[in-house]
Structure formats: C-alpha cells, structure tokens
Amino acid sequence: MKQLIFFTLLALFIVACGGSGNDQNANVPPPKSMIPDPPKDDGKGIGEFKNVTLNDPLNADMAKNGKAIFDLKCAACHRLSDKRIVGPGFKGITDRRKPEWIMNMVTNVETMLDQDPAAQKLLEECLTRMPNQNVSANDARDILEFLYQNDVES
Ligand code: HEC
C-alpha cells in the first residue's frame, strides 16, 4: 500500500513538472524561420468567394436581375460608364478586377475596406466608405453577370 502511494505521488510530481515545462516553452517565441510569411495578395479579395465560375455565353436572366439590383441599390453612387461619382464608374471593372474580388467587395465591404490593399486604395481616392448594401450571394452573382454584360456591350 505504501508503495502504491509513493508511485502515485511520483506520477503526480512528474506530471506537474511536465506541465510547468510546457508553459515555459509557450512563452519563448519561435525562431523567425518558423513564422509563416503573411499570405500573398491573390487579387481575389477577402470573403467567402474563392472561386467563381463564369458563364460563356452570359446568362441574360441573371444579368437582367443584376441590372434591377444595380438600379435599386447601386446607381446612386456608381455609373455604368467610367465616370466616377461617389464611387468609381463600372466600365472596365471586369478587366481591372477578378470576379471573386468584385463579389467579395459587394458582400463583404467592411472587411475589404479595412484589409484589402486595392479596396483601401479606392477609399483613399473616393474618401467615402461604401456602405454595406446587404446583397445576398445570389444577387451579388447576378450583379457580376450584369457587370460583364456592361463591359461586353459598347
Ligand atoms: C453610398 C454610395 C455607394 C453605394 C450605394 C454603393 N457603392 Fe460601391 N462603392 C462606393 C465607393 C465610395 C467605392 C470606393 C471604395 C470606397 O471608398 O469605399 C465603391 C466601390 C465599389 C466597387 C469597387 C469598384 C472598383 O473600381 O474596383 C464595387 C465593385 C462596388 N462598389 C459595387 C457596388 C454595388 C454592386 C453596389 C450596389 C449593390 C454598390 N457598390 C453600392 C460607394 C457606393
């Protein structure tokens, strides 16, 4: 019986020492070579859209719905030409930006303006923060279709 108590205490002692040892290790910063580089900007922006599949030819119904949402929620600040009003004109946007970037900008604008380099540059130029327009993923995809149509026409 005495032996059992002795071994139990010994075991507890070892566990306790092991625990404090780990804590000490946690305070030591890892060597620089082990810290990963910050992720490279892949031009897709920040948000849920990582891979957008485009339609060829364009889907006319989606573009039509996209235009309706544009008229309702976006036209106050964006023209379809390259003319900037409050925000940049949309002409040529599908050449300038990746589809994922556009959809992340439309659905996740706060994070984009805070963290995405291209969005931050726009904010410096426009000096107005684009407000969150509460656009669903489906509606954002339809807006994207409409922006492609706008760039193909004329
Ligand atoms: C109150 C004005 C306002 C409204 C409404 C608005 N935006 Fe914007 N938008 C901006 C501004 C300003 C910028 C430039 C970035 C900034 O300063 O926040 C911008 C930037 C953008 C960009 C990037 C443009 C580029 O050249 O890369 C996209 C895409 C965009 N908006 C889409 C939309 C869509 C789609 C809607 C409607 C659902 C919309 N915006 C509604 C003000 C607005």
Report the separation in Å between the CA atom of 126 and the middle of ligand 1, taken as the mean of its atom positions.
Answer: 10
Q: What is the pLDDT, as a whole number, of residue 8?
A: 62
Report the separation in Å between the CA atom of 38 and the middle of ligand 1, taken as the mean of its atom positions.
Answer: 27
Q: What is the pLDDT, as a whole number, of residue 30?
A: 82
Ligand 1: residues with CB < 6 A are 69, 73-74, 76-78, 86-88, 93, 96-97, 102, 105-106, 113, 122-123, 126, 128-131, 133, 135, 143
Q: How far is CA 50 from CA 23, 39, 67, 101, 109, in A?
A: 38, 14, 24, 9, 16
Q: What is the pLDDT, as a whole number, of residue 7?
A: 65
Q: Which structural domains are found in the chain, ordered by start? A: 60-152 (1.10.760.10)
For each of the chain's 154 residues, which pLDDT tens digit applies?
566 666 665 555 555 545 444 556 678 888 888 887 777 889 999 999 999 999 999 999 999 999 999 999 999 999 999 999 999 999 999 999 999 999 999 999 999 999 999 999 999 999 999 999 999 999 999 999 999 999 998 6
Q: What is the pLDDT, as a whole number, of residue 95?
A: 97
Distance CA 24, CA 34 (A): 18
120 close to 113: Cβ distance less than 8 angstroms = yes
